[in-house]
Structure 1
Amino acid sequence: MASKKKSTFVKPNAREITTAVALIDDKSQFMEFLRKCSDVSAEVSAQNSLFPPIATPGRHDWLTSFPTPPESFQSWERKIRNHVNSRMKTIYILPLGEFTRDKSSGSELGVRFLGDLEAYTSSFFTGMVVKMMKEVPVAELKCKSRQHMVDDKVVREQLMVSGIFAYMKSVKPRDAYCVVAVTMMDLYPNDEWNFVFGQASLQQGIGVFSFARYHPNFFERDKSVAIDTLHQLTPDDYQMLRWRAIKVLTHEIGHMFGLRHCVYFTCLLNGSNHAEESDRKLTFLCPVCLRKIQHAIKFDFLARYEGLVKFFQERLISAHNKNDKFLLCKEWLDRAISLAVQL
């Protein structure tokens, strides 16, 4: 996405990981779950494969470009200022573009897609109120845009993030913990960058996230093939897009809670420089990041996992389709719950 720096990333060791989780010796089921999952000793790791160690970054990966310092639970807790409270505990989702305005059959699919984003965000951030705002046409944003070559001979329109932020600040509800905009348009933060999947401002409590590069036709040279509607997708392509969308959405909302990119485990909060790296990320939070979000919202972690199981179960393509990412997510959650109830 931008110019590369020489990597200085060093994986945290076992002691640093244990310290980062900041376990409390209260014998609660949640703390015992975190204790078990954050133990990276060989014997325990063989029994618990929920959270693989973070991979050594490749040449084009995020940590090679942007070496990220680790942030423990204690460091996060000291710095966080945007606390959840009874007056501000609503996450608003703002759709930008033609998700539901398309007059074709994609309109119904767009409504379902947005409904799924709302439902998943509500389950993922259990305890927060989640509301969908009215869809806004791109023309109403009045933000800067450009025509940009995204691949050999493929040009796409991109929207500049700063203009979207200006609009979002003007419509942010007073009871919002944060407002997250979602779009099928490609984004860029400044003229030096090729693109960005999403960008958030913790201080302003706003962020915008693009699903454009997760559309299978994004790099299609035929300009008649639209990427801002969903009706042309096969069931498998739609499921893959939906899986990638819920990942980028919950990843970026995680930043709204003050979480940095994670360097402790393979985790939803890992940074990503390209779509392949984004796909490698876990769909869920590692022990360190889960500790932070649970502390911020105070949810029952087991009830949260059970709610997520229900979400994925109700949206499977087939219980036997091993390529269905939703099935893999459900199986992961089943293993996590099984481990928790044994403690």
Structure 2
Amino acid sequence: MQVIEHPVEKLHTALLSTRKDLIETYQQFSRPEKTLLEEGLVPGNSLFKPITINSDSDWIPAHPEDPQDFQSFYVNPYRRSPSSGHNTIYIQTIGELLNFLKKKKPRDAFCIVGITMIDLYPRDSWNFVFGQASLTEGMGVFSFARYDDHFYQRSYAGRLKKKIKLKQGDYSVFEDYYTPPVTSTLLLRSCKTLTHEIGHIFGVKHCQWLNCVMQGSNHLEESDRRPLDLCPICLRKLQSAIGFKIADRYKALLHWLEDGQHSKPTQAFQDYKHWLYKCLRILEGETS
């Protein structure tokens, strides 16, 4: 196993930038926010871990690419931010893929993301992808197929032989494809992939700085190693695109996890909940 650990100075530059104006905008973060972001760069901290490479089949050795620091994200002319007229993220269950999404994309959409039970292959040379996004089109798609524990068994149902008539609110099939039970593990995996693909639509590239939901993944074991949230460098990218208080983001995520009105399986999210509470203890100055 290889551990990728960048020098703190390099991570600090990746977070702040070398441009005076971007360093000045960084100073607009509150003191607790800067404490969270900068302590996350220090080796051995309890919140943000280094990237681990377990084999040559992992994403980073298999797909070499330049790392994206905050400055290169900020100056990218193709990156996207919501506007008053395009500020909604839509999630659409689909069978056919990107052409279908183009027809379904509402006028006020910042982006639309399709979820499907079809296994995804972007080109013949790839074995599969969990998801794919188009920055210019504001569209993405990801597949539940390989999140099913039965996917690799010969008995896997795949496309249904008989069409099932859906009841209102029924999400048990996706365009005549079998859908596995929505377990907490499947929900966690799906949230990671959905967050990752929407991050690409904002212009955030694959993370090579710290353990982060924006890391690429070539297989399920590698995908499971990713955390659910962003490292400090990618968090600043998203914050600059949307504009939010970091504490408000983490409180909203906790509210979604603990909302008793909408029952959902969240057992697999327990470590993430503890992580959010740790972050909020650092950010407690935000609530005063």
**Would the aligned equivalents of 2:4 and 2:50 in 1 still touch at CA under 8 Å?**
no
Q: Could you tell me which residue of structure 2 aligns to residue 301 of structure 1? A: 246
- Root-mean-square deviation (CA, aligned residues, Å) is 2.3
With normalisation by structure 2, the TM-score equals 0.81
Q: Tell whether 2:17 aligns with 1:25.
A: no
Q: For structure 1, which runs of at least 5 residues remain unmatched after alignment? A: 1-8, 97-137, 142-163, 319-323
How far 1:193 sits from its partner (Å)? 2.1
1:76 to 70, 73, 77: 73
Q: Note the alpha carbon deviations across 1:256-315, whole angstroms, 9 max, x for none.
A: 000010011100001100000000001110000100101111012101101111222246
Looking at structure 1, the residues matched to 40 and 193 of structure 2 have their Cα atoms a distance apart, in angstroms, of 24
**Quick one: which of 31, 38, 42 aligns to 1:39?**
42
- The 8 Å contact of residues 313 and 330 in structure 1, kept in 2 or not, is answered as no
**Is the 2:11–2:41 contact (alpha carbons within 8 Å) kept by the matching residues of 1?**
yes
Q: How does 1:97-246 map to 2 (within 5 A)?
A: 138=95, 141=96, 164-224=97-157, 228-230=177-179, 233=181, 238-246=183-191
| Maintained 8 Å contact 2:4/2:52 | no
1:59 to 56, 80, 104: 56
Taking structure 1 as reference, are residues 177 and 317 closer, same or farther at Cα in structure 2, changes over 3 Å only?
A: closer
User: Aligned pair 1:337/2:267, yes or no?
Assistant: no
Matches of 2:253 and 2:62 in 1, distance apart? 33
- Which amino acid in 2 is paired with 1:86? S
Alpha carbons 1:316, 1:326 under 8 Å: kept: no
CA, structure 1 residues 89+27, in 2 after alignment: closer, same or farther (shift >3 Å)?
Answer: closer
Say whether 1:278 aligns with 2:223.
Answer: yes
In structure 1, how many angstroms separate the alpha carbons of the residues matched to 2:4 and 2:35?
27
Identity score, percent: 39
Distance 1:193 1:35 in 2: 37
Gaps of 5+ in 2: 17-22, 161-172
Name the CA distance, whole Å, in 2 between partners of 1:170 and 1:316. 30
**Does structure 2 retain, via aligned residues, the 8 Å contact 1:84–1:296?**
yes
Q: Aligned equivalents of 1:224 and 1:296: distance in 2?
A: 41
CA distance in 1, matches of 2:131, 2:13: 30
Cα deviation 1:168-213 (Å, max 9, x = unaligned): 2233222211111001221111222221111111011111100110
Contact 1:90 1:176 (C-alpha < 8 Å) held by counterparts: yes
- Matched residue type, 1:33: L
| Distance in 2, Cα, partners of 1:238 & 1:263 | 30
Query: Could you tell me whether the CA contact under 8 Å between 2:113 and 2:139 is conserved in 1?
Result: yes
For 1:286 and 1:335, locate their aligned partners in 2 and report how far apart those are by CA, in whole Å. Answer: 14
Provide, for residues 132-188 of structure 1, a one-character-per-residue CA deviation record: whole Å limited to 9, x for no partner: xxxxxx3xx3xxxxxxxxxxxxxxxxxxxxxx2222223322221111100122111
1:83–1:66 distance in 2 versus 1, CA, 3 Å: same
Q: Distance in 2 between the 1:27 and 1:244 partners?
A: 31
Q: Provide closer, same or farther for how the CA distance between residues 57 and 264 of structure 1 changes in structure 2, counting only shifts above 3 A.
A: farther
Corresponding residue for residue 9 of structure 2: 15
Structure 2: distance between partners of 1:258 and 1:20: 16
What is the alpha-carbon distance in structure 2 between the residues aligned to residue 189 and residue 214 of structure 1? 18
* Native 8 Å contact 2:35 2:282 kept in 1: no
| Aligned partner of residue 51 in structure 1, secondary structure | coil
The alignment covers a number of residue pairs equal to 255
- Given that residues 183 and 265 in structure 2 are in contact (C-alpha distance below 8 angstroms), is that contact kept between their aligned partners in structure 1? no
2: distance between equivalents of 1:188 and 1:197? 9
